[in-house]
Amino acid sequence: MALDQFGRRIHYLRISLTDHCNLRCIYCMPDDMSFRPGAELLQDDEILRLVRIFTQVGFDKFRLTGGEPTVRAHIVDLVRDIAHTPGVRTLTMTSNGTLFRRLAQPLADAGLQRVNFSLDTLNPEKFRRLTRRGSLEEVWAGIQAAEAAGLTPIKVNAVVVRNDNEEDVIDLARLTLTHPWQVRFIEMMPFAGITQFQQDNNVQEIAMRDLIQAALGPLEELNGGELDGEARLYRLKNAPGTLGFISTISRPFCASCSRARLTADGWLRMCLLRELEVDLLTPMRAGVTDAELREMIVNAVWLKPWGHRLDEDAVPLNRLMSEIGG
């Protein structure tokens, strides 16, 4: 079991499979984004080796993210190999959904259990503007395919941007009246690259809840206000689905954090919003043993920072969100 210096049990690894993406969401990366060459990224055998070692130190929950994980070559084979690694109890993915129409069933057959889809608006033109190139129709078909393939319960993530898709929280929340989905609203966080935009256009949970309640009626708080992962859950009256708020800025959940992140280029990052990282790829390519890798991981876990320091204006500027894996 991997414990940090504050007694938190760290057992959930989010792996950024690639920094590449087929969209350019305005809150995530600049339009003229350039990506790393493939050789600088973790290769399949390196990922599998690390997954095996992480399970040996007590990690049992894995999420594949990016960039866009589904643009990685041989993604179905990689998912199958990770799913069959002893000690992997939960295997999920975060995706923009653009390729799921074709990939949902093969990924489910390979052992993927659930998916969180990013969807920030139900308006096709606005969707194209927010993603700078995406098709809402394609993503919607991808979500339907995932549901049909049993990758359930479906979760939908929306990052809320002031003066852009703020009002869209109402349409998105309305989805829970007709679908047994969890629709989660994310407070935009600042990283490198487009930091000023992210800081200037953040919308807080309370404002989102006010908009939803004014349009759709009262929200019932679930779980007695306890967190479900990183989200606080609510339900609209008689809704089969639920609403979640991931409020990193206004209501941080660092005390219950159980996560670590593996960046696409093989660095272990113990807090999404802190710059501290440990390079695992260079030592691996230099021939380090499994025992030495285990020790590096256990030490990094121990030193996991307590939490972010955004309230002190300490913004992590060494990476974009897409490199770390959200």
Binding site for ligand SF4 (CB under 6 A): 21, 23-25, 28-29, 66-68, 96, 118, 322
Which does residue 65 bind out of ligand SAM, ligand SF4, none, counting CB within 5 to 8 angstroms by kind?
ligand SAM
If DSSP codes are grouped into helix, strand and coil, which group holds residue 310?
Answer: helix
> Whose structure tokens read 């490199």?
323
Which does residue 24 bind out of ligand SF4, ligand SAM, none, counting CB within 5 to 8 angstroms by kind?
ligand SF4
Q: Is 316 in the site for ligand SAM (CB under 6 A)?
A: no
Q: Which of 10, 15, 17, 21 lies at the binding interface for ligand SAM (CB under 6 A)?
A: 21
CB of 124 to ligand SF4, least distance (A): 16
* Residue 42 DSSP class: P
Q: In which region does residue 288 sit, left (phi positive, over 0), alpha (psi from -120 to 50) or beta (all else)?
A: beta
Tell me the CA distances in angstroms from 170 to 18, 66, 160, one per residue in order.
32, 28, 11
Could you tell me if 172 and 129 are in contact, meaning their C-beta atoms sit under 8 angstroms apart?
no
φ, ψ for residue 291 (rounded to 5)?
A: -65, -40
**Cα(315)–Cα(309) distance, rounded to whole angstroms?**
7
Question: 231-236 and 219-221: which strand pairing?
Answer: antiparallel
CB of 19 to ligand SF4, least distance (A): 8
φ, ψ for residue 214 (rounded to 5)?
A: -65, -35
Q: Which residues contact 67 (CB under 8 A, 6 or more apart)?
A: 16, 17, 18, 19, 20, 21, 35, 264, 322, 323, 325
Of 187-226, binders to ligand SAM (CB under 6 A) are: 188-189, 191, 198
Decide whether 29 or 216 has the Cβ nearer to ligand SF4: 29
If DSSP codes are grouped into helix, strand and coil, which group holds residue 326?
Answer: coil
Could you tell me if 165 and 121 are in contact, meaning their C-beta atoms sit under 8 angstroms apart?
yes
Residues in the chain: 326
Decide whether 92 or 95 has the Cβ nearer to ligand SAM: 95
CB of 194 to ligand SAM, least distance (A): 8
Q: Is 41 in the site for ligand SAM (CB under 6 A)?
A: no
Strand partners, 155: 116, 182
Q: Is 19 in the site for ligand SAM (CB under 6 A)?
A: no
Site string for ligand SAM, 114-143 (x = CB under 6 A): ----x-------------------------
Decide whether 68 or 81 has the Cβ nearer to ligand SAM: 68
Q: Which residues contact 38 (CB under 8 A, 6 or more apart)?
A: none
Decide whether 31 or 312 has the Cβ nearer to ligand SF4: 31
Q: Where are the beta strands (DSSP E) in 10-148?
A: 12-16, 61-65, 90-95, 114-118
Site string for ligand SAM, 58-97 (x = CB under 6 A): -------xx-x-------------------------xxx-
Q: Is 146 in the site for ligand SAM (CB under 6 A)?
A: no
Binding footprint of ligand SAM, residue count (CB under 6 A): 20
Which does residue 145 bind out of ligand SAM, ligand SF4, none, counting CB within 5 to 8 angstroms by kind?
none
Q: Which of 88, 186, 281, 293 lies at the binding interface for ligand SAM (CB under 6 A)?
A: 186
Decide whether 55 or 65 has the Cβ nearer to ligand SAM: 65
Positions that interact with ligand SAM (CB under 6 A):
21, 27-28, 65-66, 68, 94-96, 118, 157, 159, 186, 188-189, 191, 198, 321-322, 326
